[in-house]
Amino acid sequence: MLKTRITDLLGIEHPIVQGGMMWVGTAELASAVSNAGGLGILTALTQPTPDALRREIARCRTMTGKPFGVNLTILPSINPPPYADYRRAIIEEGITIVETAGYKPQEHVDEFKAHGVKVVHKCTAVRHALSAERMGVDAISIDGFECAGHPGEDDIPGLILIPAAADKVKVPMLASGGFGDGRGLVAALALGADGINMGTRFCATREAPIHDNFKAAMVANDERATDLMFRSYRNTARVARNAISQEAIRIEREGNPFEAIAHLVKGARGKEALDNGDLDHGIWSAGMVQGLIHDVPTCRELIDRIMAEAEGIIAKRLGGMAGARLEAVA
């Protein structure tokens, strides 16, 4: 068993956290991850209203007695969702762990902390992690360039970003972006993180509430099967490569404004695809870790396998190397 600052902070058995994912972070997946010893995360804005989030929290509690959290992502918008009402629902429903992400979270961090909620903030740069630490968050999730979704604009891969953050960040830290097996967990720990946060890998599990076509696609795809969109809009997003992403990128590269591709990339269209199984109906987030996904296990099977692999690597490969070196020195 691997005990770290993250397992102690979050009260979980294994240092593995399921990232908050739009349309995917529902009670089915979150409860399965938590029941397997990790930390499952509900995605607040997947629910259409704060009251719907309250019901989803209650439903998750009927499916697990173990800790789970809620993700609240704050994005600049002309017509933003009622973030304060979602925040109030999270607090009033007794959630004790929140993953925040996005734009200027100070107001939300302050309110969550005032009510005893532990806050893990997702960042894509060391400077942002340090800013979040100053805000008072309890932990950082540092997201490398390999990740699905929004990797930021610095293009720093995890092999550099994780230790660079570990050199400066004092609170516990999760490594995110490109993790899917025991080798990744051991690497994250060696680089200075206290655990891993996985999104894409948990999408390719039996409990993930998306069509099986997408799970099969993630197994079939390799590490090259992603596209980077919205680069010219300074809002880079990594998605699975498909006909829609390729068309949107073509239009963007012609110098057109975002409004010219909005109809292709809108969230409702992506949600329809995840439900109906049409891989080319809308864009869908997936990371480069697709190249490491070879099956669709249950969450328990996946987490048990990751932990067994990690413990085996530490005990046999790394331990054996250390032992051999000590013998050579002697």
Per residue in 54-68, pLDDT (tens digit) is: 999 999 999 999 999
**Model confidence at 263: pLDDT above 60:** yes
Q: Would you state the pLDDT for residue 329?
A: 46
Residue 10 and residue 114 share a domain: yes
Q: Would you state the pLDDT for residue 95?
A: 98
Tell me the pLDDT tens digit for each residue of 82-140: 999 999 999 999 999 999 999 889 999 999 999 999 999 999 999 999 999 999 999 99
Residue 194 and residue 136 share a domain: yes
Total domain count, the chain: 2
Residue 283 and residue 190 share a domain: no
User: 176 and 46 in contact (C-beta within 8 Å)?
Assistant: no
Q: Would you state the pLDDT for residue 179?
A: 98
Q: Where are the beta strands (DSSP E) in 148-216?
A: 173-176, 195-198
pTM reported for the whole predicted model: 0.95
Residue 125's domain comprises 5-203
Minimal CA–CA distance to 203: which of 229, 240, 150, 245?
240
Query: How many Å separate Cα 234 from the centre of its chain?
Result: 21
Minimal CA–CA distance to 98: which of 150, 169, 45?
45
Residue 113 and residue 17 share a domain: yes
d(CA 118, CA 65): 18
Residue 98 and residue 228 share a domain: no
